[in-house]
Amino acid sequence: MSALLDVRGLRKSFGTTEILRGIDFSVAARELVFIIGPSGSGKSTMLRCCNRLEEPTAGQVVVDGVDLMARGSDMNAMRRQFGMVFQAFNLYPHMTALGNVTLALRKVLGKSRDEAEAIGLAALDRVGLKEKAPSYPSELSGGQQQRVAIARALALEPKIMLFDEPTSALDPELVGAVLGVMRDLKASGMTMVVVSHEMRFARDAADRIVFMADGQILEQGTPAEIFGNPQHPRTRDFVGELSR
Amino acid sequence: MTGLERFQEAFLKPELIARYWPDILSGVAVTLQIAVAVVITGLALGLVLAVIRSYRSRLANAPIIVFVDVFRALPPLVAILIVYFGLPSLGINISGFAVLWLVLSLVLAAFAEEIFWSGIVSVRKGQWEAARSTGLSHWQTMTSVILPQAIRICVPPLTNRTIAVTKNTALGTVIGVGEIMNEGTSAMSLSGNATPLMMAAVAYILIFVPVVVLGSWIERRFAWKRA
Ligand SMILES: Nc1ncnc2c1ncn2[C@@H]1O[C@H](COP(=O)(O)OP(=O)(O)O)[C@@H](O)[C@H]1O
Ligand SMILES: [Mg+2]
């Protein structure tokens, strides 16, 4: 099976500290890969290296056969292959929900205002927030803000969606709606890489679980394998800790 | 003579007001011209420098930081005198008006750069990441996402600094620019009375109070809707 995303030998150092110590990891089209691991193990850094928000120190990131690290490639165009959803939502506070979703459509893809708004409304509709189009982020709940952020990424039709702890900043009662949107995305065939501690969601939605610690992938497998029969002692500790 | 009459005699003599108001008025026109020119070029240059600094190129940043520190530290009067008396010996002849405009623009630019820069860095990093992850370039992120948020924070300190720097147009009097202060002091020495200075003071107040009002209006305009 050819991979949609192929990460090879990814390394990242901040100063003299090596945070990612050789990551090899690939994701097939339509696959939902969950990344778990202790805090500080480099999960966010790995996601951010994929779309080069963080510049990798070494390694390759290949999307659909195209090497993103190749010299002379158009960085801004490359980045759009990924949609990224952040723990802190990062909506633009001075723009409405629709403004948030249409900004890149207009500035990057050069769509007209009408075109961009039609696409933007469709994206907001996908996350169930069409009627919130004129609302400002400060008028939305955290869960709604995160769904607008997902719509903002979806509107650009990325090949892969990256989620960095999308529900960690949410009150428990708001988590469900965001996970619901992610389930719908999965059902619609989106390829997704999710860093999250939502273990129930991982169990029933993930195709594969990757366990990271100290900047390395220690183990990966199906949810049943990782949760039911972890091989590495650190995975065992981590999973045991979570299910306690 | 009552106290009030004595006060009026010293500071608000009607015949002196009648004699000198055209002079003060022409000073107002000159002050306004310089002030407007300084505000436009000073703020624009400050913004440009702050945006250049955001690219974090060491080559560009070192001269910007040196420029900013020098012009923030130097008393404007010193800079004005150096430029006014220095340039002619280099064979460059520019008017006192131009010297005043140039120096005050540079001073305002130095302070404005620092204010814009602190506004830019106060916008959370996540805003950059969100914008860049959707394919916006550095420039597009700056103009569409960062500056609209940064400038809002910058308006109050910028208003204060702009007023403080443009008040220095009064220094034009030492290099013969016919602005308010110059007209006021020459009328004072001719008449031997403080009335022209009071007229100058009133003129400054009439000019700068609207600027303060304008500042708070802009502040409100840049405040986006909040729940
Ligand atoms: N910009 C940075 N500069 C220096 N160190 C960083 C930076 N970003 C992350 N780190 C460090 O890298 C390590 C991994 O961070 P992160 O990828 O956020 O881990 P995780 O997401 O798994 O919690 C942490 O020790 C963190 O302090
Ligand atoms: Mg993280």
Which residues, in sequence order, are CB contacts of A84 under 8 Å at separation 6+? A47, A51, A53, A153, A161, A162, A163, A164, B129, B130, B133
Asked whether residue B227 carries a pLDDT value surpassing 80, the answer given is no
Return the CATH number of the domain spanning residue range B3-222.
1.10.3720.10
More confident residue, B120 or B7: B120
The sign of the dihedral angle between the CA atoms of A8, A213, A178, A31 is positive
Asked whether residue B226 carries a pLDDT value surpassing 80, the answer given is no
Task: Identify all chain A residues contacting B149, using CB atoms and an 8 Å cutoff.
Answer: 92-94
Q: Report d(CA A149, CA B72) in Å as an integer.
A: 42
What was the pLDDT predicted at B2?
85
Interface test with B, best of A103, A113, A163 (most B CBs within 10 A): A103
Residue pLDDT, tens place only, B169-202? 999 999 989 889 999 999 999 998 999 999 999 9
Is any Cβ of chain A less than 8 angstroms from the Cβ of B135? yes
Which residues, in sequence order, are CB contacts of B51 under 8 Å at separation 6+? B116, B120, B142, B147
What are the residue ranges spanned by the domains of chain B? 3-222
For residue A107, give the nearest of B133, B136, B224 by CB distance.
B136
For residue A136, give the nearest of B144, B149, B225 by CB distance.
B225
Is any Cβ of chain B less than 8 angstroms from the Cβ of A90? yes
d(CA B212, nearest CA chain A) in Å: 25
ipTM of predicted assembly, 2 dp: 0.93
Residue pLDDT, tens place only, A209-228? 999 999 999 999 999 999 99
What was the pLDDT predicted at B9?
87
Which parts of chain A sit beneath pLDDT 50? Answer: none
What was the pLDDT predicted at B224?
60
Alpha carbons within 13 A on the beta-carbon side of B214: 10
